[in-house]
Amino acid sequence: MEEQSKKIHAVERSLEIIEIVADAEPAGVSEIAREMPVSKSTVYTHLNTLVENGYVTKDGDTYRLSCKFLTLGSSVQERFELYQMAKQHIDELASKTGEPTNLVVEMDGKGICLYATNPRNSADVFMSSGERNHMHATGTGKAILAHMPDSEVEAIVDQHGLPELTEHTITSRAELFEELEHIAERGLAFDRQETIHGLYCISAPVIVDDDVIGAISVSGPVNRFTNEERRAELSEAVEEIANVIELRFVFS
């Protein structure tokens, strides 16, 4: 146990710098140092090491992540059987609905976007591959939580809380569990501007051998989801594709 608790603080600092650069890029040394309890010279040393090893690029006085992360991310993505089984069907869902579609899995209590599409090539896309989100506020996150044991949901809430992202976000355990019960009954989950103002999302879980392994969704500006007939059409399309993905696992 003692061995497992040991950490290399220099590595932790480099990883923290990578995350700051990813959020703010391009980012300068002073900007990064303001986010960390270390000196600018220490930040510069870490950045220089990351540049020399190809993980960060320098442009004048600012830094960006390099394409090396794209290569690493693609490698991780391809290792997910769910991605391999679902990608073509997520593309099919996007083509059929004309709306952005997403494939999400749970990891360390957060929803991780494994794959996302943008069929309209528009600026109104709200999720991208690799993005991490609180599960209590997203359609995909709630679709997954609704099919997990209560004890696991409790553990996730203990770990990450129920932060209020908009005035529509669920912030109480009682309300969350009530919502999850409804989702389990109807088979669909909705994000009604709970994560981002103006975003609406319709999601369905992917369940294999009674275990939820992920969720899929269509999402977009709320004004494209206000019509009841359109919502019913999109809901049916999401459920259909989720069922197709599940059957691929059964017969593979």
Q: What is the pLDDT of residues 5-14, one digit of tens each?
A: 577 888 889 9
Split at pLDDT 50, 70, 90, the class of 122 is low
For the chain, the structural domain boundaries read 9-66, 73-251
For the segment(s) 9-66, the CATH number from 3.40.50.1220, 3.40.50.10420, 1.10.10.10, 1.10.150.120 is 1.10.10.10
The CATH superfamily label for domain 73-251 reads GAF domain (3.30.450.40)
In b/e form, how buried is each residue of 112-134, taking b as 16+ CB within 10 angstroms? bbbbbbebeeeeebbbebbeebb
| Of the candidates 65, 113, 62, 116, the residue with the CA atom closest to the CA atom of residue 94 | 116
Tell me: the pLDDT tens digits for 91-118? 999 999 999 999 999 999 999 999 999 8
Q: pTM of the predicted model, to two decimals?
A: 0.79
